[in-house]
Amino acid sequence: MPSIWKHLKQAGGFPHKANPMNTVPIHPDSYADFLTPDELHRVQLYRLQTAVQNSYDKVPLTRDRMKERGLKPEHIKTLADVAHLPFMQKTDLRDTYPYGLFARPMSDIVRLHASSGTTGKPIVVGYTRDDMAVWTSVMTRTLCAAGLNQMDVIQNAFGYGLFTGGLGAHYGAEALGATVIPISGGNTERQIMVMQDFGVTAIFSTPSYFLHLIEAIEATGTGFKGLKLKVGVFGAEPWTDAMRSHIQDRAGIKAYDIYGLSEIIGPGVATECCQQSGLHVFEDHFLMEIVNPETDQVLPDGEEGELVLTTLSKQAIPMIRYRTHDITSIITEPCPCGRTLRRIKRISHRSDDMIIIRGVNVFPSQIEAALLKVEKSLPHYQIVLSRSGGLDQIEVQVEVTGEMFRDRVSALEQLQKKMSQAIEHVVGLRANVRLVEPQTIARSQGKAKRVIDKRMEGSTL
Amino acid sequence: MTLKQLSIFLENKPGRLGHPCKALAAAGINILTLCLADTEQFGILRVIVRDWEKAKAVLEQAGCVVNVSEVLAIEIPDHPGGMESILAILEPNAINIEYMYAFTLKRGSNAVMIVRVDKPDQAAKALQKNGLALLDASAFFTLA
C-alpha cells in the first residue's frame, strides 16, 4: 500500500519524540491509520452494508425498526445513507437483556463483558473470535499512537474482570509485543513496588487513580527519580487538560487520553496521538456522526453535538447508530501526526445525566432505585462528587423525612448504612450517605439538582 | 406514666441548633430540659416542653423533622448509689436503657432523670413496684 508509506514519510516517521525507540517501525495494524479518504470510504461502505445486513437478518429489533420505516439493507448505497437508519440506545441493550441484540449463536461467542445497568442488571456485551481480533487490533493501534512498542514494560492498572478496560488494554499491549503486567486496579503499595522494581515504562489507568498514585509515589521520598515511566494511557472517565498538565509535570511523563465504551467495543474506539490534540477515531471500524441531541439531525463537521457510532465490523452485537450521549465535535484539520483518521475533541460533557465515577457508569436513577429499596417513598437527595487524594468520592445527601427519622442515633446510623449498602449493591461503588435536614438541598424550579460534581473544581485537578 | 419527648433532627453544623430553639422561643414555648446527641455528621436534639403538640406543630412549621417518643421521668435518690438502684431494677427485667439525661431541678432530696428505655410500660411497673417515683406530666410540669 504505497499511499500509506507516502503519508508516513510526510509525517516524518511515526513514534513520538519522547520515545527513544523512534526508529522502530510501526506495528502493521497501524497502517490503517494512514489510509487515503478514498480507501477509507471504500472500506467503510463495504463494512457498513455488511453490518446492516447482518443486523437486519439476525436482530429482530433492527429488522422491526427498519421495516417500520420501509427500509431494507439494500437501501444503504452510500455512507450518508446511514442517516436514514433508526438510532440505538443503551435502553435497547437493557430491554433485551442479556442476549437480545446478539447476531451470532452462543457457540460463536468467545467472550462476555458487562457494565452497570440502572436496575441492578448490567448491560451484557459479547464478542466473536473475529470481534476479539478487531478489539485487539484497535487497542494495538491505540498504544502505537501513544508511542509504545515491543520494548515497553506496561503496568496495566485498568480493572480486570467484567469491565472492558483491563482485558481490552491487555490484549492490545500483548499483540503489540510489549511486556504486560496485569496488575489491575488498587493496592497502591504494590503498584509502586512493581513500577520501581520491574522497570515499568508505561502505565494504563483511570486518570483519577493515577493522580492518587502520584501522591503516593511522591510520598516515598525518592518520588519519580529512578523510575523509567515515560507514558501514561488514561481513560474510562472524563478528565481535563488541566489534569493532563498536572500529571505530566508532576510525573514527568506523556499522558494520553483514550476513548471507548463497552457497547461499541470497549477501549479502542478513539485515541490521542503524539500531538495530544483531539482523539483519532478508528473510522475503519467505527463510523461516526455528530447529531443534534434534541432534533436528531446530523450536524456538519466542526459543530458540537452528540457522538453517534456505528460498528462496522462487529459480528456479535452490531450497533447501528448508537447514541453515546457524549458531546464532542469533529476536528476537520488534518493532524500533523500523519494519521488520516479524523479526530474528535476530548469529551467535555454528556447529553444525559450519566456520571462516570472511578470508571463506572452511574445514572442518578440508579441511586434513586437504591434509596427506594430502603425507604418506601423517595426522599430528596443529591449526589456530590469530589476528589480526595486523587480518588473520586461519592456522597449521597438524603433529606430526612418524618417517616425515616428515629429518635435513636443507632437507628439513623443503621439507616445510613442500609442506604449505602443498597447503593453499593446497585452501582457497585461505595457511597457515603449523609442525612441532611429537610429543605437544605437546593431546588431549582421545584426540581432538585441531582448531581454536584466538584471533581474538576478548585485546584488544577 | 410516661412523658412525651420531642426529638429533632439536626445536621452537625454550626448554627443548626439555633434554628429549632429560635422557633420555640418565637412561639413562647419554654424548653424544660433538653439533651443533645451527636455523631460526626448529625445530631438529635431532645426536648421536653409543656405543650408538646403545640411545640411539634411550631417546629414542623419551621421545617424541622420531629419525632415524638415516650420517656420516663424517674425520681432518683440524690446520693451515692442512687443511680445504681434504678439499674438494679431494670437490668433483671431485661430492659434496655437507650439513653438518659438529668433534669436540672431537684424534687426534695431527689434528682430527676429522663430515661428512654425499649419497654417503657414494663419499666414503669418494675420501678414503681420497687418504690421509685415516676413523675407524670402534671407532676413534672409543676416542678419545672
pLDDT digits (tens, 9 = 90+) for A56-88: 999 999 999 999 999 999 999 999 999 999 999
| First-to-last C-alpha distance (Å) of chain B | 17
Q: Once rounded to an integer, what is the mean pLDDT over residues A317-345?
A: 95
Q: What's the confidence (pLDDT) of residue A459?
A: 46
Q: What's the confidence (pLDDT) of residue A166?
A: 95
Identity of the amino acid at A251: A
Question: Which residues, including other chains, have CB under 8 Å from residue A34's CB and lie 6 or more apart?
Answer: A3, A4, A7, A8, A11, A338, A339, A340
List the alpha helices (DSSP H) in A221-363: 241-251
Q: Once rounded to an integer, what is the mean pLDDT over residues A110-135?
A: 86
Q: Does A384 touch chain B (CB under 8 A)?
A: no
Q: Does B46 touch chain A (CB under 8 A)?
A: yes
ipTM: 0.82
Q: Is the CB of A407 less than 8 angstroms away from the CB of B7?
A: yes
Distance CA B36, CA A212 (A): 39
Q: Once rounded to an integer, what is the mean pLDDT over residues A22-30?
A: 69
What sign results for the dihedral spanned by CA atoms A69, A73, A79, A82? positive
| Nearest CB neighbour to B67, from listed A405, A413, A434 | A405
The predicted-structure confidence for A349-375, as pLDDT tens digits, reads as follows: 888 888 888 878 888 888 888 888 888
Which domains can be identified in chain B, with CATH numbers? Answer: 3-69 (3.30.2130.10), 70-143 (3.30.2130.10)
Q: What's the confidence (pLDDT) of residue B141?
A: 80
Cis peptide before B80 (omega within 30 of 0): no
All cell numbers assigned to B36: 443533645
Q: What's the confidence (pLDDT) of residue A302?
A: 94
Q: Once rounded to an integer, what is the mean pLDDT over residues B58-77?
A: 92
Q: What's the confidence (pLDDT) of residue A23?
A: 44
Each domain of chain A, given as residue ranges in start order, spans 2-352, 357-453
Domain A2-352 annotated CATH 3.40.50.12780: yes
Residues in chain A: 461
Domain A357-453 class, CATH top level: alpha beta
Q: What's the confidence (pLDDT) of residue B111?
A: 82
Residue B97, class by beta-carbon neighbours within 10 Å (0-12 exposed, 13-18 middle, 19+ buried)?
A: middle
pLDDT at A461 over 80: no
List the alpha helices (DSSP H) in A156-285: 164-176, 188-197, 207-218, 241-251
Distance CA A106, CA A127 (A): 10
Q: Which residues pair with B45 in a beta bridge?
A: B8, B36
Q: Is the CB of B11 less than 8 angstroms away from the CB of A440?
A: yes
Q: What's the confidence (pLDDT) of residue B110?
A: 82
Q: Are B117 and B126 in contact (CB under 8 A)?
A: no
Q: Once rounded to an integer, what is the mean pLDDT over residues A291-307?
A: 95
pLDDT at A13 over 70: no
Q: What does DSSP assign to residue A298?
A: B
Q: Are A306 and A293 in contact (CB under 8 A)?
A: yes
Instruction: Give strand ranges (E) for B41-126.
Output: 42-49, 66-77, 97-107, 110-117
Q: pTM, whole model, 2 decimals?
A: 0.73
Torsion from C-alpha of A361, A364, A370, A373, nearest 10 degrees: -150
Distance CA B140, CA B144 (A): 7
Q: Is the CB of A408 less than 8 angstroms away from the CB of B98?
A: yes
**A444: confidence class by pLDDT, cuts 50, 70, 90:** low
> H or E element: which one contains B11?
strand B3-11
| Nearest CB neighbour to A409, from listed B37, B64, B67 | B37
Instruction: Give strand ranges (E) for A318-456.
Output: 322-328, 330-331, 343-344, 349-350, 355-357, 360-362, 381-388, 391-399, 432-436, 443-444, 447-448, 451-453
Q: Is the CB of B44 less than 8 angstroms away from the CB of A412?
A: yes
